[in-house]
Amino acid sequence: MSYKELIPEGEYREIVARDEARAQAMIDLLFAAEKTDPRVKFMNIRPMVTIKRMFEESAALWPDRPAFWEKPSRKEPYRMIPYTEALARVNALGTGLHGRGMRGAHIAVMGDNSYAWATAYLAIVGGTGVVVPLDKELPKAEIEQLLEIGDVEAIFYHKKYAPMMEEIRAGGKTKLSLFVNNGDRVGGVTDDLRDFEVSADTIVAEGQKLLDEGNRDFLDAQIDAERLGILLFTAGTTGFAKGVMLSHKNICAEMMIPTVVIGIVPTDVFFSVLPIHHTYEGTCGFLIPLAQGASIAYCEGLRHIVENLSEAHPTIFLGVPLLFENLYKKIWQNIEKQGKTKLVQSVMKVNHGTRKIGLDLGNIFFKQIRALFGGQMRLLICGGAAIDPAVVDGIKEFGINTVQGYGLTECSPIAALNPIFGGNSASAGYLVPGFDAKITEADPETGIGEICLKGEHVMMGYYKNEEATSEVMEDGWFHTGDYGYVDKDRFVFITGRKKNVIITKNGKNVYPEELEYLLARHGIIGELMVWEASSAKDDDTIIAVTVVPDAEYVEANLGAGATDEALGKALWEAVDAVNAEQPIFKKIRKVYLRKEPFDITTKKTIRRFNQDNRAGIEV
């Protein structure tokens, strides 16, 4: 049965009863876990059945509370959009889409993080069809490819992409209805629309007229929580895009479970800076806050992070290791410039002890540092890759709780998440109740093997690609491609990606990610990539690293005109310090100095298999 076909009334009642029973079983599991697991704190999480119902219930529970905070323009203050206003726009937009014959359609959303993006997403997934979030940084050829592969019939986009959309539409490979998201700001300028475009506000007006006339097509839309609801593409830049199929069931499992270990409350304000099309921000920084009655403040861009933090005063900030590690490094550089290193280290040492008894000195002694995060920040959540545990613990001593999680698009995305109660900074996360893991092909010496995951958060499969699905799914278990292990307390430890592992001639495994975060602790290191090289002497496999030095560190410690020789010496000092703690097969044998930035993905990760990224001056 396709999404466009109506479900017979009796069958639909059975579907709703099934979904409600599953959601209640999850709640019962969490409630039982709270009694035996100190890491789980039941936070009045209600059963989640569908994304549509979640948002409607949140609007009923917190009608006048802010759902979104957005700046109409650069110089204007943040504007608050309450839940009732947001729901009204979603209902009108969804009704308007139904009126245009879009029921059951695959509809894409592409543009900046914004209220307009969020409401378009909710109007699609909440009773219209299948939402297809797209990466706005991709070139035209790849956008066109994804639209074609994903059977996309319409797209909401920022008006600056109009020329691209016109070319794609004219190309004839895909038949598109084009909806402009008003410059990604509701009520934005739309008087320059082309004749093939329709403003989202126009569709809202059409939908409101239908609602006023009594139309309930969208309001009463049937949603089967086990059907395809969200189509997310991964690996689009490799020429082989895989569409990850997620259902409402997958997302609802995420909305209920992780929140019991980090304690989200309606007064929380999430700071949204990561690309919202990506599943990490899309689920964790968008849907989960709305499920708990919290609000979302949209950052205007990476250049405006510090400024927007001071304006929005958020309490929760989702980021990636590179972002938090750079912030942490710059904090310490400023401390050193002020000559307060020993004083701060002493206070942090004392605070480490007092925090155990509930007294956080960070609120008293580190107000200036906390002000950089807006003054109200209580929790940083790191995902996307492994972060140095020393950075996590260091930020905690400043008085801001910091946790890291582990996830994949195929897991909606959270697979494990460190709790704020009894977490482990060295681990990638904690397997919360309802999520299971096992290790396959484990090394008999280390216990390290491929991590496999199972639970209601695991995807339906890859869109129209049974071969790729069968390669990663087996009896309900998803093979992640990550190597690591799970300890007795259900904490997950990641050693590296299966495809990245360097295997030496004597069969030893070296995980480049492990060496990278050890090296990243040294001030001279800006960006780096550890990779496999060959020895000219004996054709053996050796470990090499290419480094882009940290410009501020170099200027402060070596001088702005530092020679390659001086830079090489400083880099080798950092490498030698790491090598001293490693067995022979893990030691880095070659160091390359790179003076231009690495080629990176739109997720801000280095393209590890791009040979050009290895280039540099051997020092």
Joined together, the tokens standing for residue 263 give 């304690």
Q: Is the pLDDT of residue 1 over 50?
A: no
More confident residue, 329 or 299: 299
Q: Is the pLDDT of residue 190 over 70?
A: no
Contact 65, 279 (CB under 8 A): no
Per-residue pLDDT band at 185 (split at 50, 70, 90) = low
pLDDT of residue 109: 97
**Which has the minimum average pLDDT: 62-66, 103-107, 299-303, 589-593?**
299-303
In sign, the C-alpha dihedral spanning 150, 154, 159, 160 is positive
More confident residue, 358 or 337: 337
Per-residue pLDDT band at 610 (split at 50, 70, 90) = confident
CA dist., res. 186 & res. 182, Å (int): 6
**pLDDT tens, residue by residue, 117-151:** 999 999 999 999 999 999 998 889 899 999 999 99
Per-residue pLDDT band at 511 (split at 50, 70, 90) = confident
Contact 415, 239 (CB under 8 A): no
Same fold yes or no, 9-307 and 320-499:
yes
* Beta bridge partner(s), residue 437: 453
pLDDT of residue 187: 59
Q: Is 0.85 surpassed by the pTM of this model?
A: yes
**Which has the minimum average pLDDT: 72-86, 88-102, 161-175, 554-568?**
161-175
pLDDT of residue 241: 79
Per-residue burial over 74-110, b = 16 or more CB atoms within 10 Å of its CB, e = otherwise = eeeebeebbbebbbbbbbbbbbbbbbbebbebbbbbb
More confident residue, 122 or 603: 122
Q: Is the pLDDT of residue 231 over 60?
A: yes
Greatest mean pLDDT among 82-96, 146-160, 532-546, 589-603 lies in 82-96
Q: Which CATH homologous superfamily contains domain 320-499?
A: ANL, N-terminal domain (3.40.50.12780)
How far is Cα of residue 135 from the mean position of the Cα atoms in its chain? 13
Distance separating the N- and C-terminal Cα atoms of the chain: 63
How far is Cα of residue 209 from the mean position of the Cα atoms in its chain? 37
Amino acid at 424: N
Domain ranges of the chain: 9-307, 320-499, 501-618
Q: Is the pLDDT of residue 265 over 80?
A: yes
Contact 184, 112 (CB under 8 A): yes
pLDDT of residue 397: 86
A 10 A CB-CB count for 219 gives 15
**pLDDT tens, residue by residue, 432-474:** 889 999 999 898 888 999 999 999 999 999 999 999 999 999 9
Closest of 535, 391, 412, 547 to residue 403, by C-alpha = 391
| Mean pLDDT of the residues in the chain | 90
H-only helix segments in 373-423: 389-397
Amino acid at 385: A
Q: Residue 163: in which H helix or E strand, if any?
A: helix 162-171
pLDDT of residue 238: 40
Q: Is the pLDDT of residue 239 over 60?
A: no
pLDDT of residue 269: 98
Fold adopted by 501-618: GMP Synthetase; Chain A, domain 3 (3.30.300)
CA dist., res. 529 & res. 267, Å (int): 40
CATH code linked to domain 9-307: 3.40.50.12780
Contact 95, 207 (CB under 8 A): yes
The three-class DSSP label of residue 526 is strand
Contact 494, 385 (CB under 8 A): no
The share of the chain scoring above pLDDT 90, in percent, equals: 65
Joined together, the tokens standing for residue 567 give 């830079």
Per-residue pLDDT band at 377 (split at 50, 70, 90) = very high
